[in-house]
Structure 1
Amino acid sequence: MRRTFLPFLALALSLAAPSQARALEIDVQVGSSIPTVSGSVTYTANGLAGSSIDLGTLGFGSGNDTHAKIDINHPIPVVPNIYVHYLPIDLVGNSTLTKAINFGGTTYAANANLRSEILIQQTDVGLYYNVPMLKTATAGMLNVKLGLNARIMNFNASITGTSGAVSKTTTASFAPTIPMAYLALDVRPIHLFSVNAEYKTLPMGSSSLVDWDVDLRIYPIPILYFGAGIGSYAITLDPSLAAGVPAANITFASTHFFLGADF
């Protein structure tokens, strides 16, 4: 992991040199995300091999999660800019098993009624630099950001199975803080709208996280905007990563809508 980040960190630090006087800029945003999930999970515990569970068979619908972000872009030389982004995911599914499965050492019989939930509480804290002189050279039409992101995550995946009067619940959970590389692109050809993209990633051997989104902002007046976008969040987990981690290949696809102020 250290070898992965040293070149990127060196590049980010090289951007720290002051390039121009600029004012304090604050971007505040709140909105709603509508995620869907696909992929598979295998949770082995208590010496019992877990079943490979296709998430598409668990009846997950679309979620509706509130997200919020603040981005502070300041004029202090050398000190990086900072953002904080709260982006939870909560999905619930209801289904009936067509065959027996094992999840976390618990066996759920065929024809059992299942309630499944994926709950991820996560907050991103990022430090970044703007590419020097680029925004000035393009008259504010283009800006590129490079930095590091810390994803503070609390991951829970649970299954509750009911068969007759018997109900059983099993939960896989872990709470890591994950460093990620951060890249963002802002394009604003005219004052009325902008296109913004973000990419965050971390390869962790046989595990990885890749998170990207693209959105369109409309500015009805100079500092206020509204918009919509799409995103994808792919999680690949290997049980060797940490205790309580299931084997998983999960992708969350989302559409999001938001309001914000950029001043």
Structure 2
Amino acid sequence: MKTKVFAIALAGAVVAAPAMGDTLAGLYVGAQAWQQDTSGGFADSNSVSSFNFDDETNSAAYIALEHPIPLVPNIKLNYTTMDTGGSTSLNDNFTFDGELFPAGTEVMTVAELTTTDFILYYELFDNDLISFDIGVNGKYIDGTFSVEESASNTMGTQDFSGVIPMLYSRVQVGLPFTGLGAYAEGSYLSFDDHEVSDYQVALTYSFIESLAIDMTLQLGYRNAEINIEDLDDIYADMTFDGAFAGLEIHF
């Protein structure tokens, strides 16, 4: 279902793109491999427990359409996976999905989490030296948390999802005639007991620049913090961060 939602959104954005040259509209498509270090925990009450999670390599993909139509915002869709799991020895009793996991037991925890960012933004500046975008982001979070104690065959699983409105901004700088550049991009919200942020900074190198297509390498760092209170009866305080490498194609 998660993949189907993203595929439909991605296809819709491509179909909506007008058949114009790059001087009138631009289409950006990118993909990233993200080495994630995960910390924190979750619960189905406000007593959030911390767990051990393994480092994982997950992925992100995005598509953005920029156009010259006045007052109509540009659009960007960004889909990210943040799946991880690990083994933890509980220090205290933990109840999840109606199941009791006693202190001292070894449990396996799995977090299957995806986010889809629906971003509407305006370009305030756009030239070879600097560009600055600002807008809003509807971050759709879709996840499943599970806890299992194999010795007693006890398992608790809960699904959750919801849309969190956020502010969005991006600034990019470049060195003309070198292909080198850098950018910082992020979204943030602190509202109604939710505190969510997602930002990345990267160095870039455009190794192909032509009238038909541009291709740019990215190397950077991304941090996503998800502190949610009672989102579909789920409470979580988790941080995902680490280095990423990516490729962007501009048509």
TM over 0.5: yes
In structure 2, the CA distance between the partners of 1:249 and 1:74, relative to structure 1 (3 Å rule), is same
Q: Give 1:74 deviation, angstroms.
A: 1.0
The whole-number CA distance in structure 2 between the counterparts of 1:243 and 1:70 is 29
The whole-number CA distance in structure 2 between the counterparts of 1:91 and 1:141 is 39
Task: List per-residue Cα deviations over 1:177-206 (Å, max 9, x = no partner).
Answer: 121111111111234111111110112232
Partner amino acid, structure 1, of 2:161: A
Pairing 1:115-194 to 2, within 5 Å after superposition: 115-131=108-124, 134-136=125-127, 140-163=128-151, 166-190=152-176, 191-194=178-181
1:237 alignment counterpart: 228
The whole-number CA distance in structure 1 between the counterparts of 2:139 and 2:193 is 19
Greater per-residue strand proportion: 2
In structure 2, the CA distance between the partners of 1:258 and 1:192, relative to structure 1 (3 Å rule), is same
Which protein is bigger by CA-based radius of gyration?
Answer: 1
2:30 alignment counterpart: 29
The whole-number CA distance in structure 2 between the counterparts of 1:243 and 1:63 is 26
Task: List per-residue Cα deviations over 1:108-160 (Å, max 9, x = no partner).
Answer: 134533211111122111111100xx324xxx210110111111221222111
Normalised TM-score (structure 2): 0.82
Q: Give 1:97 deviation, angstroms.
A: 3.9
Q: Give 1:100 deviation, angstroms.
A: 3.9
Q: Give 1:167 deviation, angstroms.
A: 0.9
1:198 alignment counterpart: 185
> Which of 255, 258, 261 is the equivalent residue of 2:243?
255
> Which of 216, 220, 230 is the equivalent residue of 1:225?
216
1:17 alignment counterpart: none
Task: List per-residue Cα deviations over 1:5-38 (Å, max 9, x = no partner).
Answer: xxxxxxxxxxxxxxxx952112111121111112
**C-alpha RMSD over aligned residues:** 2.1
- Structure 1 unmatched ranges of 5 or more: 1-20, 45-49
Partner amino acid, structure 1, of 2:57: N
Task: List per-residue Cα deviations over 1:76-115 (Å, max 9, x = no partner).
Answer: 2221111111111100112344554333432113453321
**Number of residue pairs the alignment of both structures matches:** 225
Decide whether the 8 Å contact of 2:228 with 2:234 is kept in 1. Answer: yes
